[in-house]
């Protein structure tokens, strides 16, 4: 079997990705029970600024729009984008999250950024190309990333959350930094971190989240550190010690996060979908490295894609369908 599973059933466990995905926008503050009008008004304003709808309301892979209030199973694409001056940016990390409130389960799939696949451009179909999946953002932004992931897995993507990794340091600094136990000493972009427990500021946390060369697990290890960093931001954001500077936190969030989730949808998800966080199934894609035309790619077989598609579609309450083969992917 080409999919490694690790079922996690602990409540409030570090790395609780469903909670991380939803709370990072709103419940960083509301989790402490702070519902005074002025704070709620500020949070609502910040979420409104983060809200960035995409051109279509319903995925072509759905017959009708999902209804959060009806507790329909949903899917979320969460990406960390490496945006630098003079560059359109690329997705530094990519997670597909499916949530089924009826079965009270959540599945999280991490897609390696070097995965070789077909990039889908709905505006110019003749320009579809075979490339690394993280290049979709560089060519067509979040919408091309969504279309490409939908094609790769043959599932609908209902919502997205985009985090600017370069501005990520502002969010860490806004909560006063985080404490980690670094497993591998390394140097990256002028930042040197020793092995062992230490307190990280925003710049150091960004390097900690992005490092992969010194980690024998590569992208898998980096993904775990990124989940750890965001989880610890959430923990700090929910503590009373940070509420005095909640405006700094909101400023950092609204400047570095984009999503098509609305405030009402986030609130409904927190109340109706929260039990699904109690049972989580982490999926990782096994593949192999291959150099094609002097470029290294992560190769995923069609059988693995089909297996993943079947599992995620079943979790979303959709029937199995045969995936479209990726031509010239050899």
* Band of pLDDT at residue 20, cut at 50, 70 and 90: very low
Reported as a single tens digit per residue, the pLDDT across 167-215 is 778 888 888 899 999 999 999 888 999 999 999 999 999 899 888 888 8
Return the structure tokens found at 230: 């965001």
pLDDT at 19: 43
Mean per-residue pLDDT, 320-326: 92
CA distance 7 to 279: 7
Reported as a single tens digit per residue, the pLDDT across 272-281 is 887 887 787 8
CA distance 291 to 198: 38
CA distance 158 to 259: 11
CA distance 18 to 6: 15
Q: Please provide the average confidence, as pLDDT, over all residues in the chain.
A: 81
Lowest mean pLDDT among 56-60, 101-105, 134-138, 251-255: 251-255
Which whole-number Å values give the CA distances from 287 to 301, 302, 323, in the listed order?
Answer: 7, 11, 17
Q: Is 182 buried (19+), middle (13-18) or exposed (0-12) by CB count in 10 A?
A: middle
Reported as a single tens digit per residue, the pLDDT across 117-144 is 999 988 776 667 899 999 999 999 999 9
CA distance 33 to 293: 56
Classify each residue of 275-305 as buried b or exposed e, where b means 16 or more C-beta atoms within 10 Å of its C-beta: ebbbbbbbbbbebeeeeeeeeebbbbeeebb
The CA-CA-CA angle for residues 149, 27, 68, to 5°, reads 55
Q: Out of 10-14, 18-22, 142-146, 278-282, give the one with best mean pLDDT.
A: 142-146
- The residue whose two tokens read 């799939």 is 109
Q: How much is the pTM?
A: 0.80
CA distance 221 to 202: 20
User: Are 233 and 24 spatial neighbours (Cβ–Cβ below 8 Å)?
Assistant: yes
The yes-or-no verdict on residue 28 having pLDDT over 50 is no
Residue 7 makes CB contacts below 8 A (sequence gap 6+) with: 279, 280, 281, 282
Percent of the chain with pLDDT over 70: 80
How many other CB atoms are found less than 10 A from the CB of residue 314?
Answer: 15
Q: Out of 19-23, 24-28, 165-169, 281-285, give the one with best mean pLDDT.
A: 281-285
The yes-or-no verdict on residue 163 having pLDDT over 50 is yes
Lowest mean pLDDT among 21-35, 100-114, 159-173, 308-322: 21-35
pLDDT: which is higher, 4 or 46: 46
Lowest mean pLDDT among 29-43, 176-190, 289-303: 29-43
pLDDT at 299: 95
The radius of gyration of the chain's CA atoms, rounded to the nearest angstrom, is 19
């Amino acid at each position: 079997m080409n999919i490694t599973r690790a079922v996690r059933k602990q409540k409030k466990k570090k790395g609780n990705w469903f909670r991380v995905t939803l709370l990072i926008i709103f419940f960083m503050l509301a989790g402490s029970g702070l519902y005074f009008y002025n704070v709620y008004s500020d949070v609502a304003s910040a979420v409104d600024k983060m809200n960035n709808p995409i051109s279509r309301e319903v995925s072509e892979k759905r017959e009708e729009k999902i209804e959060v209030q009806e507790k329909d199973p949903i899917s979320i694409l969460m990406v960390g984008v490496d945006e630098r001056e003079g560059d359109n940016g690329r997705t530094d990390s990519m997670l597909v999250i499916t949530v089924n409130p009826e079965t009270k389960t959540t599945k999280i799939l991490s897609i390696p950024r070097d995965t070789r696949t077909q990039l889908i451009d709905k505006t110019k179909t003749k320009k579809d190309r075979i490339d690394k999946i993280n290049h979709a953002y560089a060519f067509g932004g979040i919408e091309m990333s969504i279309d490409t992931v939908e094609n790769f897995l043959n599932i609908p993507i209902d919502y997205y959350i985009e985090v600017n990794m370069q501005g990520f340091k502002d969010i860490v600094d806004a909560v006063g930094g985080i404490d980690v136990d670094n497993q591998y000493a390394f140097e990256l972009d002028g930042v040197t971190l020793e092995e062992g427990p230490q307190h990280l500021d925003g710049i150091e946390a960004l390097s900690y989240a992005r490092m992969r060369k010194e980690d024998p697990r590569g992208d898998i290890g980096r993904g775990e550190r990124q989940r750890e960093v965001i989880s610890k931001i959430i923990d700090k954001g929910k503590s009373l010690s940070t509420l005095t500077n909640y405006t700094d936190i909101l400023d950092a969030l609204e400047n570095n996060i984009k999503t098509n989730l609305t405030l009402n949808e986030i609130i409904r998800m927190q109340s109706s979908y929260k039990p699904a966080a109690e049972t989580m199934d982490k999926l990782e894609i096994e593949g192999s490295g291959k150099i094609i035309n002097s470029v290294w790619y992560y190769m995923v077989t069609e059988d693995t894609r089909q297996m993943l598609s079947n599992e995620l579609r079943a979790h979303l309450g959709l029937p199995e369908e045969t995936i479209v083969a990726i031509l010239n992917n050899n």
